[in-house]
């Protein structure tokens, strides 16, 4: 089979409804190429999303898909993984979906080390609802909801994932498709919670701070000498004011949620009946 045909196998045939020039097209293409290279069967993949332009992704990929509700991507994705650990689960959210309304879920999947890959499409705006500021919009930006300039400092998704303890943390860029494909492959192969921030552009409602030309000027690969187990240095690179580092910041090994649930299940099977009787005994 031609290589191109193989990647097309992972496209659902539903045409994306994204605007012309939207960075999400590049991400879709990197994702299907990554799935093709890993050679995953489409029946073994589940794509879970929230609400937003980013979250439309599951429609366009041939796999199981769940287009959820705003901000609830991660709890749904974790539920899917726990119910069927054999599935390769990929969660997708925008910066608004994943860091505003849904921001409270990230620390918990990171600390649980749920074995799934989380792609955060960061275009620094609410694209779908036509241009309100998001948690990653740059200070002083003029948006639909900040006509006199935004007053909040932007959050750094990669830095948050590092601090919360995600065991694989990377940053890619929708335009650097080959590297993004590679990061997605590594994220999927990693056992545990893989967080990938993907810088992308909203060609309709954010033409300033996430402008492709501006990002390219500041882009710099994570230094080859970086020790991916050095959390402090990972954080320094992720929050650099001048350069936008891309690549892998953090990669460590730790038992996953699924490993720990198996231990709990074993303990419950061994001692559960005795403990239950003792508990009932307290009420006799
Ligand atoms: C509970 C709830 N509140 C608000 C909305 C409206 N809403 C839909 S998408 C969205 C923001 C999407 O922004 P982001 O997650 O950054 O995705 P993008 O469209 O930029 O890819 C909002 C506020 C909603 N659908 N549900
Ligand atoms: S509104 Fe922005 S993020 Fe949404 S499809 Fe259009 S360009 Fe892409
Ligand atoms: Mg957005």
Q: Tell whether 284 and 156 lie within a shared domain.
A: no
| Tens-digit pLDDT profile for residues 223-238 | 999 999 999 999 999 9
Q: Tell whether 151 and 190 lie within a shared domain.
A: yes
CATH number of the domain bearing residue 135: 3.40.50.970
Q: Which residues, at least 6 apart from 264, have a Cβ–Cβ distance to it below 8 Å?
A: none
Predicted local confidence at residue 14, as pLDDT = 96
Strand pairing category for 168-173 and 244-251 = antiparallel
Q: Whose CA is nearest to atom 2 of ligand 2?
A: 202
Q: Whose CA is nearest to atom 1 of ligand 1?
A: 70
**Cβ of 202 less than 6 Å from ligand 2:** yes
Predicted local confidence at residue 125, as pLDDT = 96
**What is d(CA 83, CA 249) in angstroms, rounded to the nearest whole number?**
30
CA 94 to ligand 2 centroid distance, Å: 11
Predicted local confidence at residue 211, as pLDDT = 79
Q: Tell whether 102 and 150 lie within a shared domain.
A: yes
Q: Tell whether 199 and 265 lie within a shared domain.
A: no
CA 5 to ligand 3 centroid distance, Å: 31
Query: Are 98 and 120 in contact, with CB atoms under 8 Å apart?
Result: yes
Predicted local confidence at residue 15, as pLDDT = 94
Q: Tell whether 20 and 103 lie within a shared domain.
A: yes
Q: Tell whether 269 and 280 lie within a shared domain.
A: yes
Among 23, 94, 203, 207, which is best to mutate for testing ligand 2, by the most ligand atoms less than 8 A from CB? 203
Among 53, 58, 96, which is best to mutate for testing ligand 1, by the most ligand atoms less than 8 A from CB? 96
Q: Whose CA is nearest to atom 4 of ligand 1?
A: 70
Query: Are 142 and 135 in contact, with CB atoms under 8 Å apart?
Result: no
Q: Tell whether 154 and 210 lie within a shared domain.
A: yes
Q: Tell whether 143 and 17 lie within a shared domain.
A: yes
Q: Tell whether 214 and 162 lie within a shared domain.
A: yes
Intervals of the chain under pLDDT 50: none
Q: Tell whether 246 and 123 lie within a shared domain.
A: yes
Predicted local confidence at residue 163, as pLDDT = 98
Question: What angle, rounded to 10 degrees, do the helices at 231-238 and 157-164 form?
Answer: 160
Q: Tell whether 145 and 168 lie within a shared domain.
A: yes
Residue 135: count of CB within 10 angstroms of its CB:
20
Q: Tell whether 226 and 272 lie within a shared domain.
A: no
CA 122 to ligand 2 centroid distance, Å: 11
| Closest ligand 2 atom to 54 CA | 3
What residue numbers bound the domain in which 280 lies?
Answer: 256-284
Q: Whose CA is nearest to atom 11 of ligand 1?
A: 126
Count of domains observed in the chain: 2
- What is the DSSP annotation of the chain? --HHHHHHTTB-SPPP-PPTT-THHHHHHHHHHHHHHHT--GGGEEEEE-SSSGGGHHHHBSSEEEE--TT-HHHHHHHHHHH-TTSEEEEEEEHHIIIIITTTTHHHHHHHT-S-EEEEEE-SSBTTTTSB--TTSPTT--BTTBTT---SPPP-HHHHHHHHT-SEEEEEETT-HHHHHHHHHHHHHSSS-EEEEEE--BTTTB-STT-HHHHHHHEEEPPTT--TT-HHHHHHHHT-SS-EEEEEEEE-----HHHHHHHHHHHHHHHHHHHHHHHHHTT-
């Amino acid at each position: 089979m031609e290589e191109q045909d193989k990647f097309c196998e992972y496209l659902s045939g539903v045409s994306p409804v994204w605007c012309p020039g939207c960075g999400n097209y590049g991400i879709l293409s990197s994702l299907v190429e990554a799935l093709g290279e890993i050679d995953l069967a489409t029946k073994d993949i589940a794509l879970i999303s929230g609400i937003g332009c980013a979250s439309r992704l599951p429609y366009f990929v041939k796999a199981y898909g769940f287009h959820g509700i705003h901000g609830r991507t991660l709890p749904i994705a974790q539920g899917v993984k726990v119910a069927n650990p054999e599935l390769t689960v990929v969660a997708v959210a925008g910066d608004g979906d994943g860091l505003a309304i849904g921001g409270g879920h990230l620390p918990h999947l990171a600390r649980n080390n749920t074995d799934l890959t989380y792609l955060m499409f960061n275009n620094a705006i609410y694209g779908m609802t036509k241009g309100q500021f998001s948690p990653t919009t740059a200070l002083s930006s003029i948006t639909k909801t900040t006509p006199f300039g935004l007053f909040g400092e932007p959050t750094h998704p990669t830095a948050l994932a590092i601090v919360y303890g995600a065991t694989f943390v990377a940053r890619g860029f929708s335009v650097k498709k080959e590297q993004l494909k590679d990061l997605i492959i590594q994220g999927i192969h990693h056992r545990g919670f893989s967080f990938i921030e993907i810088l992308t552009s909203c060609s309709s409602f954010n033409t300033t701070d996430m402008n492709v030309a501006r990002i390219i000027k500041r882009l710099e690969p994570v230094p080859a000498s970086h020790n991916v187990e050095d959390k402090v240095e990972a954080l320094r690179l992720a929050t650099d004011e001048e350069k936008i580092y891309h690549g892998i910041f953090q990669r460590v090994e730790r038992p996953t949620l699924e490993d720990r649930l198996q231990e709990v299940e074993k303990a419950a099977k061994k001692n559960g009946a005795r403990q239950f009787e003792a508990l009932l005994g307290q009420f006799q």
